Amino acid sequence: MKLIGLVGSAAEQSYNRILLEYISKEYSQLFDLEIMEIANLPLFNQSDDQTDSVAIQNLNRKIMQADGVIIATPEHNHTIPAALKSALEWLSFKIHPLENKPVMIVGCSYYDQGTSRAQLHLRQILDAPGVNAIVLPGNEFLLGKAKEAFDEKGNLKSEGTRKFLGSTLGKFVQFIEVIGQLDGAAPKLPPEDLEAKGAIATTIPDIDKAAEDWVEQAAAAVGAVSGNTYVELDRGILTVDQLNYFLRSMPMELTYADSNNQFLYYNHCADAEEMFAKRQPGQVGNALAYCHPQKSYKNVEWVLQQLRSGAQDVIRVHVPTHGPDKYVVHNYQAMHDEAGNYAGVNEYILDFKPIVDWYLAQTGQALVGGEVDAVAGASKNAGETSAAPAVDAVASASKSDAPIPAKVPVAAASVDGVSSASVK
């Protein structure tokens, strides 16, 4: 179980940080606790929106990916510190990673009451619209006289305190498991603009995204280089021609859709009829909405939401409609720029069977096991689980509506290709 421990103080020396470090070390058999700081977050100001800054998006992704959050708060003037309040404002302004997220509150203070009033206020904040966290009721851990509570190694001295903390953390783990069974426990993510009506820094304006010659028009508009012109990459220098040779030689179908949900590239390694995802040259430049049948929009949006929010970094789906002699997997990989901001989706489609066959031949091994479900690839005696409803592929969905696998046991669901375009 993965938890985030949020230090509610921006101070360099904090007993609440020491408490979280103790929890991380002492209760590692219960969960993996990653400690996150708020000191590097900008002060909340809705007129200077920094939701997309690296620090805030990193915290957003970490919380989204976690099973639960433990917030350790000091008490300043009978309430929580300004830095913690500011952090929670960012996490409830345009992004909502705490929505339906199990949260436990702990706190240390110099005096006897152990942050009781700050914890009361924090519970009210976490229950506010826009935050909507699910806070562990009761089980208050209030550590007073923090200066005397820890030894020189950062361990709690009192045996009774250790037992009570352990009991409370055990209940929080059970609480997370119960919440996970409730309908609607997953956070509601912002809708995706599948028509790419907006713009990002790299959007080429004033060209119809649905134009058959979008590539040619866009290249002329920005003076795009081609042919033997050299391009400096992060670790190499290639000509544009060499880049094309390199990408076309990849033993997989590659597709890129940017963070504005515009389909910008695929490695044109074969004609559409010979591809797993039947892309056409004229589809490059399209908004993703134009690359999929309307009935698949909800599924396309789900995959993009997972990747953009950081709930998942990659979604893999076996698509069995290519025949029993292949094991084709659609992979949807989130992409990020150097600052950690979401930069779009890399869909790569690969037939794994030749690789598996080669491996078995090289090692002299053979595949053995129980009865296998040919559709899902899952053993029938292993059970089937998925964290989300079945969805059809995000990019490779063709408007011809090829059959969709009935069930695929992946971290999310069965999807039909994400970024690949389909026949108009």
Examine residue 359 and state whether it is found in any structural domain, yes or no. yes
Examine residue 187 and state whether it is found in any structural domain, yes or no. no
Tokens of residue 371, six digits: 């009865």
pLDDT over 90 at 355, yes or no: yes
Q: Determine the Cα–Cα distance for residues 51 and 95; give it in Å rounded to an integer.
A: 8
Q: SS3 for 57?
A: helix
Tell me the pLDDT tens digit for each residue of 102-156: 999 998 988 777 788 999 999 999 999 989 999 999 888 888 888 888 998 898 8
User: If you write DSSP's letter for every residue of 287-340 in order, what string do you get?
Assistant: BGGGGS-GGGHHHHHHHHHHHHHTS-SEEEEEEGGG-TT--EEEEEEEEE-TTS
Examine residue 190 and state whether it is found in any structural domain, yes or no. no
- Quick one: which H or E segment has residue 149? helix 146-149
Looking at the fold, whether 272 and 409 belong to one and the same domain comes out as yes
Q: Determine the Cα–Cα distance for residues 6 and 60; give it in Å rounded to an integer.
A: 12
Confidence of residue 163 (pLDDT cuts 50, 70, 90): very high
Looking at the fold, whether 267 and 333 belong to one and the same domain comes out as yes
Number of domains comprising the chain: 2
Examine residue 61 and state whether it is found in any structural domain, yes or no. yes
Query: CA nearest 106: which of 154, 158, 141?
Result: 141
Tokens of residue 69, six digits: 């959050």
**Structural domain ending residue among the three candidates 180, 213, 234:** 180
Examine residue 191 and state whether it is found in any structural domain, yes or no. no
Looking at the fold, whether 275 and 405 belong to one and the same domain comes out as yes
Sign of CA dihedral 147, 152, 156, 158: negative
Phi and psi at residue 68, to the nearest 5°: -170, 170
Mean per-residue pLDDT of the chain: 84
Looking at the fold, whether 107 and 47 belong to one and the same domain comes out as yes
Once rounded to an integer, what is the mean pLDDT over residues 253-266? Answer: 96
Residue 163: exposure state from Cβ atoms within 10 A (0-12, 13-18, ≥19):
exposed
pLDDT at 293: 87
pLDDT over 80 at 411, yes or no: no
pLDDT at 183: 56
pLDDT over 70 at 385, yes or no: no
Question: Residue 366, Cβ neighbours under 10 Å: how many?
Answer: 6
Looking at the fold, whether 169 and 201 belong to one and the same domain comes out as no
Examine residue 358 and state whether it is found in any structural domain, yes or no. yes
Examine residue 185 and state whether it is found in any structural domain, yes or no. no
Looking at the fold, whether 342 and 407 belong to one and the same domain comes out as yes
The CATH number linked to 250 is 3.30.450.20
Looking at the fold, whether 317 and 240 belong to one and the same domain comes out as yes
- Under a CB-based contact definition with an 8 Å cutoff, are residues 50 and 42 in contact? yes
Looking at the fold, whether 260 and 289 belong to one and the same domain comes out as yes
Examine residue 175 and state whether it is found in any structural domain, yes or no. yes
The CATH number linked to 162 is 3.40.50.360
pLDDT over 60 at 95, yes or no: yes
Confidence of residue 369 (pLDDT cuts 50, 70, 90): low
Domain around 305? 196-424
Tell me the pLDDT tens digit for each residue of 38-85: 998 999 998 999 888 888 988 988 898 899 999 999 989 889 999 999
Looking at the fold, whether 371 and 424 belong to one and the same domain comes out as yes
pLDDT at 370: 53
**Structural domain ending residue among the three candidates 128, 148, 180:** 180
Looking at the fold, whether 161 and 299 belong to one and the same domain comes out as no
Looking at the fold, whether 296 and 149 belong to one and the same domain comes out as no
**Structural domain ending residue among the three candidates 120, 155, 180:** 180
User: If you write DSSP's letter for every residue of 7-19 in order, what string do you get?
Assistant: E----SS-HHHHH
Looking at the fold, whether 315 and 342 belong to one and the same domain comes out as yes
Q: Determine the Cα–Cα distance for residues 314 and 394; give it in Å rounded to an integer.
A: 13
- Quick one: which H or E segment has residue 123? helix 116-126
pLDDT at 384: 38
Place of tokens 């899902």: 376
Task: Output the CA–CA distances (angstroms, integers) from residue 183 to 92, 120, 170, 186, in the order listed.
Answer: 22, 27, 23, 8
